[in-house]
Amino acid sequence: MKNKVIIITGASSGIGKACAEKFGAMGAKVVLAARNINNLNEAATQLQKLNIDLLAVQCDVSKKEDCEKLINETVSKYGKVDVLINNAGISMRALFNDTDLSVIERVMNINFWGTVYCTKYALPYLLQSKGSVVGVSSIAGYLGLPARTGYSASKYAMQGFLDALRTENLKTGLHVMVACPGFTASNIRNTALSSDGSAQGESPRKEEKMMTAEEVANYIYKGVSSRKRTLVLTTEGKLAVFLGKLFPKFIEKQVFNKMAKEPDSPIK
């Protein structure tokens, strides 16, 4: 990855920031994209102390013009794009019956359309470099998670888009990878939307027992380097995906029971 140009969305915290640190440590030039300018600048300052060559661009991936600006500023500074990591994402936690439609729309706009927009503007440069498009998805892209209808829908959509893009480019040299980390210690559950669109504010899960963002970043780095097709992490995640194909009804019950045990679960 030395001297490769890596764009990472949602790069101010969690998996995105960990990926920036990992790729940067391996000699890549890293472009950090995030919506919150204060968090973005703080992350950039921390990474610059590690002597990582970087560019920070404020970007709301739900806006086409921001995604176009992100790619243009990257090419203006570095002249190319080698890897695009579509990591920006938001979750939600509420029964569909109680959820305002604006919540579903917001989740889709960030998780799905953000991936589409960034990939669209980066694609000409990625085709030139025979580079990589990565979508940071979730087990929710394989299994419908109760009380997370919008989140699962967005990840299913992301994976369908990237799978089709991969097939479309079988002969161009473009590499497309879908990465599904499983439950990871990050702030995505703290910022998850409730039924009315307000932030959940507190994670319903024990973060200390989850895979760390740094561990996920290491797997993503290796996956990009070896140009893997899919990356399903954690034993629980792999088992759920495998059994979901063979015994879908059984897995639905298991998923329901697991989610119902969460603190303050809306599932009864």
Known catalytic residue at 151: yes
Q: How far is CA 159 from CA 135, 155, 162, 180, 206, in A?
A: 8, 6, 5, 10, 27
Q: Residues, the chain, total?
A: 268
- Per the residue annotation, which of 125, 151, 156, 221 is the catalytic one? 151
The rounded distance, in Å, linking the Cα atoms of 182 and 240 is 10
Contacts of 50-57 with CB under 8 Å at 24 or more apart are 50/21, 50/24, 50/25, 52/20, 52/21, 52/24, 52/25, 53/24, 53/29, 54/20, 54/24, 54/29, 54/30, 55/29, 55/30, 55/31, 56/31, 56/32, 57/31, 57/32, 57/33
* Sign of torsion over alpha carbons 18, 22, 23, 24: positive
Q: Which residues are catalytic?
A: 151
